[in-house]
Chain A
Amino acid sequence: GENVEQHPSTLSVQEGDSAVIKCTYSDSASNYFPWYKQELGKGPQLIIDIRSNVGEKKDQRIAVTLNKTAKHFSLHITETQPEDSAVYFCAAYSGGYQKVTFGTGTKLQVIP
């Protein structure tokens, strides 16, 4: 089955700096890679996603890059703000197995 590794597990940045979270996956058939933000006491919120036929996608301060050859994808947050503080999860969906596998999460703290 699919295995998704996520690093780092915790990340502290100063307000205004950039944050990068990386995930690697094992199943070369995985074709969809979403990122979720989970705030305390809430369900995960989809913030950006990318499909395997695209190398990069941006949405304002958030971007995701995908390297299919190396089987890794990354979340980039620029100009971080205190409200970006949350736990971020990556995921990979394998159409072959019809299962979505999540990373173990990164707790991001943005220091004002």
Chain B
Amino acid sequence: EAGVTQSPTHLIKTRGQQATLRCSPISGHTSVYWYQQALGLGLQFLLWYDEGEERNRGNFPPRFSGRQFPNYSSELNVNALELEDSALYLCASSRSSSGPYEQYFGPGTRLTVT
């Protein structure tokens, strides 16, 4: 069974640009979660999508947004990039629609903003 995949592996952008990160969940999983892991910090919850709907979001500004497609893959968009957006962005998927029970993570996308 293929795990969660993310693309690209690395992304370098300049301040003010937009970044788009992609995630494909494990087959059969309908929930997708996005997390930010800044250097030296823990994981911060960003967004939760299930069955195409945004279920919840963490304490991040509206320039962090995303969507989930009919095939359950997901996209995270970060507009008006700031230097502090530099981080590892992790996607996770779960079979459960009621919460992050048994969620599995992808390898992440390393975003660098210069």
Contact = CB atoms under 8 A, between A and B. Distances in A.
Interface of A: 32, 34, 36, 41-46, 49, 89, 91, 93, 95, 98-105
Q: Mostly helix, strand, loop or mixed at chain A's interface? A: strand
Contacts of B33: 100
Question: Which are the 3 A-B pairs with shortest beta-carbon distances?
Answer: A43-B105, A102-B43, A104-B42
15 contacts: A36-B105, A43-B4, A43-B108, A46-B104, A46-B105, A49-B101, A89-B42, A93-B100, A98-B48, A99-B56, A100-B33, A102-B44, A102-B45, A104-B41, A105-B42
B78 interface: no
A100 B103 CA distance: 11
Contact of B106 (A43, A98, A101, A102): A43
Nearest to A2: B45
Contact of B100 (A41, A42, A100): A100
Contact of A43 (B99, B102, B107): B107
Interface in B68-99: 90, 92, 98-99
